[in-house]
Amino acid sequence: MTITFVGHGYVGIVTACVFADLGNTVYVIGRTPEKIKKLESGDPIIFEPGLQEVLKRNLLAKRIIFTTDYNVAIPSSEIIFLAVGTPPKENGEADLTSIFSVAKEISKHLGKHYSVISCKSTVPVGTNRKIKDIIEKNKPKNALFDVASCPEFLREGTAVNDTFFPDRVVVGSDSKRAIQMLLKLHKPLPGERIIVRLESAEIIKYASNSILSTKISFANLVSFLCEKTGADVEEVLDGVGLDKRIGRSFLFPGIGYGGSCFPKDVLALIKTGESLGIDMKLLIAVNDINQRARDNFIEKIISKTPSKNIGIWGLSFKPNTDDIRFAPSIYIIEKLLAHGYKIKAYDPQAMEHTKKELNHGIIFVRSAFDAVKDTDALIILTEWNEFKQINLHAIKDLMKTPVIIDGRNIYDPTTIKEIGFTYYAVGRQ
């Protein structure tokens, strides 16, 4: 099939590459000629494991074409995906400016044949009907189209694999024809097919991210209880998670969720519910606990560090990504800098982005070892694999005072204390 993606961020570029790899002709529309040049040269711009290889393979096969020109891509496309950002506004609502302006632009270039316009971006319930109205108003008279919601569930860090092996493919539409086209496109991919109403598809995405966020906040709430009582949160959650009805996944105590999806999607669902007169207390609490987890960790750092001379490991909001949007690290580091901390920081992938965000008071170093040299405490903010089995004896020898404050519970407290560290984790002694 011939398809188009508008937007080449984490969702756009990954899904475009995967569908090209399946043999489709895929256009990707961007706004900036410099970025288009980079993509054409095989640089995916973002860091995502395995992505560059798929991109290069499909560039070579001429199955993926990058452009800034809607007229190059839209008229021949059977399916057009919107994969642009829907960032939070100041009040927490999703900002749909890009969605609506892209919908208008697409509509002007629609060809004479039938096409499906499908939103991969996460948008509040009702948005796809607004997209339909915009297209109806602006399209050429003889253009035939339907809209469908096809929300994306990939996770940064494992996005390529997630897209090749989805748990489910959700398609929401009023139109049987649009549903058939999307099912045809997804045919080579495994996973259940969930064919639903437009509104259901929109809510499935927000409900999924909200329940995952709820599990994380619940784990943090339990960690607060454990810290006050001498229980160990990891032991408690192992005990809880072995119940098949509950499961252990996403019961992650620590410094809370971040990234470009969970925080914004929880807030946006709160706003949607409130606009409909629904009491959204549950998700308000999820958001509050997430904030409390970060603030508790900052208090812990302030009370447990022997001096203000510290090293930090991990800046990205989670491992295997360079994404720092709404990362707990940014909030925590800003607070520590305001308290006069001197910080050396290391992250395997996210330092370039972080330098743009935090441009003074922090020294970025090239290795985990450099980050701890002559410091009085090491703070762990992201659970990258390279920290899990690092030579902790060597780390201890480099530090002035062997203190670790671990926001991700990556070490066994007994083992690390035996090495000679003073170790503080979250919700465990």
Return the range that interacts with ligand NAD (CB under 6 A); candidates 50-58, 84-92, 128-136, 137-145: 84-92
Best CA proximity match to 254, nearest among 288, 284, 292, 211: 292
* Positions 185 through 214 that interact with ligand NAD (CB under 6 A): none
Helix axes 281-304, 328-338, angle to 10 degrees: 40
Position 156 contacts ligand NAD (CB under 6 A)? yes
Name the one residue in this structure whose structure tokens are 């009491």: 279
* Positions 283 through 312 that interact with ligand NAD (CB under 6 A): none
Please identify which of the residues 119, 150, 226, 261 carries the catalytic annotation. Answer: 261
Cβ proximity to ligand NAD, 21 vs 152, nearer residue: 152
CB of 364 to ligand NAD, least distance (A): 23
Position 385 contacts ligand NAD (CB under 6 A)? no
Cβ proximity to ligand NAD, 24 vs 122, nearer residue: 122
Best CA proximity match to 312, nearest among 338, 290, 296, 332: 332
Q: Which two tokens stand for residue 408?
A: 């991700």
Return the range that interacts with ligand NAD (CB under 6 A); candidates 50-58, 151-159, 233-241, 343-351: 151-159
CB of 299 to ligand NAD, least distance (A): 30
The footprint of ligand NAD on this chain (CB under 6 A) covers a number of residues equal to 24
CB of 253 to ligand NAD, least distance (A): 22
Give me the helices (H) in 339-426, please: 351-357, 368-372, 385-388, 392-398, 413-419
* Positions 110 through 129 that interact with ligand NAD (CB under 6 A): 121-122
CB of 157 to ligand NAD, least distance (A): 9
Please answer whether residues 311 and 375 qualify as being in contact, where contact means their C-beta atoms are separated by less than 8 angstroms: yes
CB of 137 to ligand NAD, least distance (A): 18
Best CA proximity match to 300, nearest among 362, 401, 358, 377: 377
Query: Residue with CB nearest ligand NAD?
Result: 9
Position 7 contacts ligand NAD (CB under 6 A)? yes
Q: Which two tokens stand for residue 268?
A: 């946006």
Q: Report DSSP state, residue 258.
A: -
Cβ proximity to ligand NAD, 99 vs 312, nearer residue: 99
Give me the helices (H) in 276-400, please: 281-304, 328-338, 351-357, 368-372, 385-388, 392-398
Backbone angles phi, psi at 119, to 5 degrees: -95, 120
Active site residue 17: no
CB of 211 to ligand NAD, least distance (A): 15
Residue 342 buriedness (CB in 10 A; 0-12 / 13-18 / 19+): middle
Applying CB under 6 A, which of residues 4, 25, 58, 86 lies at the interface with ligand NAD?
86
| Residue span 233-272 as binding mask against ligand NAD, x where in contact by CB under 6 A, dash where not | ---------------------------xx-----------
Cβ proximity to ligand NAD, 8 vs 294, nearer residue: 8
Query: Number of C-alpha atoms within 13 angstroms, CB side, residue 39?
Result: 26
Name the one residue in this structure whose structure tokens are 């985990």: 368
Sign (positive or negative) of CA dihedral 334, 262, 264, 96:
positive
Position 347 contacts ligand NAD (CB under 6 A)? no
Q: Which two tokens stand for residue 129?
A: 């009907």
Please answer whether residues 54 and 21 qualify as being in contact, where contact means their C-beta atoms are separated by less than 8 angstroms: yes
Secondary structure element (H or E) that encloses residue 423, with its range: strand 422-424
Return the range that interacts with ligand NAD (CB under 6 A); candidates 129-137, 153-161, 226-234, 338-346: 153-161
Which are the catalytic amino acids? 261
- Residues near ligand NAD (CB under 6 A): 6-12, 30-31, 83-86, 98, 101-102, 121-122, 152, 154-156, 260-261
